[in-house]
């Protein structure tokens, strides 16, 4: 168990050099180094040097003010119901803002401790769990994946449909490995972004139970290692973590990742007080307006997925990605070795194209291409942009997202980690992505000014 008794929960480690905006909407802390730089100029520099330090601080403040303005304008115009966003560098938190409301047009305002459904952003947590078990020698990246299910032990590849619409399958040409699963190259797909997977599901649903039992629930869309397709791969990794560790997934997360990092607002099940801070889900109508979805039923799960179902908050999730930015440790808790974190951020799929998804259900997701005309690859848990991003992100930055338009990125070159959270369907919502882009540009404006 990786618990450090002297760990501290996430906290702001820098004092504010300057503040803007209304207190109930945002609180911002600049890097210690930035404050120290300003102080050094005032004490030891003369004339133009002091002016340059002053100008740097003005440029940084102007960039952060722009983020506030963008968030305030977007929530007042109800382009998004509410948003919480945070960013940090090695020295500490450099931005945090909470704007709008948890429920459009009513209810409490967004706050830094608002709880969100983070969808597929759980996949990084599951990947961290798997990498811990690799470090302990309990599983290996390139050995056949543990046979926790026939879908892994004897994978079948969908090769087409006959004249009657019945699916045609054959055995996979090679075993599925953990590396395949962690990089979405095993062949599993989500029906939401794969027309053949959707057609297969519909085809077997129409068969008699006896025939349906003879077919795999989760066939592969291609042979392992030959293509990339986003799918249920990390769901299977969660099953593997449970089987190898001997712990239920929620307990493994709690014991080895969440508690050591002080992530008290992250989990599969939330308390009544956390539910009182939960943001409501909203849906984008064809005319561009938003309507709140009915509140979900409170159900206590008994089984847990490595690919979805986790709740978290912006401060909690920022803690997780700051741990990765800092080579596997944070606030005295060592979660992974530095070399393991470095491996997670490296291209693991060679020249295979990744990251572009075509929706089969526009009500749940738009088509996805976060970096048009930029080559994309996959590491262990993250998407990687192989060229600089349009909003300031460096080459080889790491990112992914959740279905309800929650997003994060880690920039190891410029030493920035950031999280953006709202609760809107469909995925890859254009107004939310536009606001996310403005947030990113503002963060890099502040970072570059320093």
Instruction: Please state the separation of Cα 127 from the chain's center in Å.
Output: 12
User: What single-letter DSSP state applies at residue 257?
Assistant: I
Query: 95, 190, 200, 230: which is the annotated catalytic residue?
Result: 230
Distance of CA 314 to CAs 85, 140, 321, 330, Å?
7, 32, 11, 16
Phi, psi of 75 (to 5 degrees): -75, -35
Token pair for 242: 């449970």
Query: 63, 89, 120, 313: which is the annotated catalytic residue?
Result: 120
Q: Residue 201: enclosing H or E segment and its boundaries?
A: helix 195-205
Active site residue 123: yes
Closest by CA position to 21, among listed 113, 91, 85? 85
User: What single-letter DSSP state applies at residue 144?
Assistant: B
Token pair for 240: 């593997």
Token pair for 263: 């992530």
Active site residue 230: yes
Closest by CA position to 284, among listed 98, 84, 438, 104? 104
| Contact status, residue 141 vs residue 178, Cβ threshold 8 Å | yes
Token pair for 418: 């950031």
Distance of CA 402 to CAs 38, 80, 116, 196, 444, Å?
38, 16, 10, 23, 23
Residues 6+ apart with CB under 8 A from 44: none
Hunting for tokens 């290692």 — which residue is that? 225
Hunting for tokens 């395949």 — which residue is that? 180
Query: 123, 190, 245, 407: which is the annotated catalytic residue?
Result: 123
Q: 415's torsion region: left (phi>0), alpha (psi -120 to 50) or beta?
A: left
Instruction: Please state the separation of Cα 323 from the chain's center in Å.
Output: 14
Token pair for 232: 């249920």
d(CA 153, CA 174): 11
| Contact status, residue 83 vs residue 434, Cβ threshold 8 Å | no
Token pair for 397: 């930055």
Residues 6+ apart with CB under 8 A from 101: 75, 81, 82, 107, 108, 109, 110
Among all residues, which ones are annotated catalytic? 120, 123, 230
């Amino acid at each position: 168990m990786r618990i450090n008794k002297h760990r501290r929960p996430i906290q702001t480690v820098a004092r504010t050099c300057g503040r803007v905006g209304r207190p109930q909407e945002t609180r911002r802390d600049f890097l210690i180094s930035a404050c120290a730089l300003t102080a050094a100029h005032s004490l030891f520099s003369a004339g133009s040097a002091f002016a340059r330090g002053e100008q740097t601080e003005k440029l940084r403040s102007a960039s952060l003010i722009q983020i506030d303005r963008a968030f305030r304008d977007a929530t007042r115009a109800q382009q998004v119901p509410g948003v919480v966003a945070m960013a940090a560098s090695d020295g500490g938190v450099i931005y945090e803002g909470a704007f709008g409301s948890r429920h459009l047009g009513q209810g409490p305002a967004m706050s830094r401790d608002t709880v969100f459904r983070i969808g597929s952003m759980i996949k990084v947590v599951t990947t961290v769990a798997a990498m811990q078990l690799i470090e302990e020698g309990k599983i290996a990246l390139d050995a056949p994946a543990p046979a926790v299910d026939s879908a892994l032990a004897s994978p079948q590849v969908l090769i087409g449909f006959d004249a009657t619409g019945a699916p045609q399958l054959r055995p996979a040409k090679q075993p599925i490995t953990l590396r395949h699963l962690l990089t979405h190259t095993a062949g599993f797909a989500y029906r939401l972004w794969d027309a053949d997977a959707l057609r297969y599901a519909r085809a077997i649903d129409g068969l008699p139970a006896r025939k349906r039992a003879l077919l795999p629930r989760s066939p592969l869309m291609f042979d392992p290692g030959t293509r990339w397709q986003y799918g249920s791969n990390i769901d299977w990794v969660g099953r593997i973590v449970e089987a190898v560790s001997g712990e239920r997934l929620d307990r493994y997360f709690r014991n080895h990742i969440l508690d050591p990092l002080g992530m008290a607002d992250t989990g599969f099940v939330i308390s009544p007080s956390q539910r009182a801070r939960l943001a409501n889900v909203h849906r984008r109508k064809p005319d561009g307006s938003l309507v709140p979805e009915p509140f979900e039923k409170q159900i206590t799960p008994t089984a847990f997925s490595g690919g979805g179902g986790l709740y978290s908050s912006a401060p909690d999730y920022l803690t997780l990605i700051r741990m990765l930015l800092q080579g596997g440790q944070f606030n005295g808790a060592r979660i992974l070795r530095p070399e393991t974190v470095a491996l997670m951020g490296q291209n693991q799929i060679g020249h295979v194209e990744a990251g572009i998804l075509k929706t089969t259900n526009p009500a749940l997701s738009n088509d996805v291409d976060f970096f048009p005309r930029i080559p994309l690859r996959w590491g262990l848990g993250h998407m990687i942009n192989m060229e600089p991003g349009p909003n300031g992100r460096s080459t080889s930055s790491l990112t992914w997202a959740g279905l309800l338009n929650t997003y994060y990125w880690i920039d190891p070159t410029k030493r920035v980690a950031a999280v953006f959270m709202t609760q809107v369907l469909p995925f890859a919502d254009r107004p939310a992505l536009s606001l996310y882009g403005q947030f990113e540009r503002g963060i890099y404006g502040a970072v570059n000014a320093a």
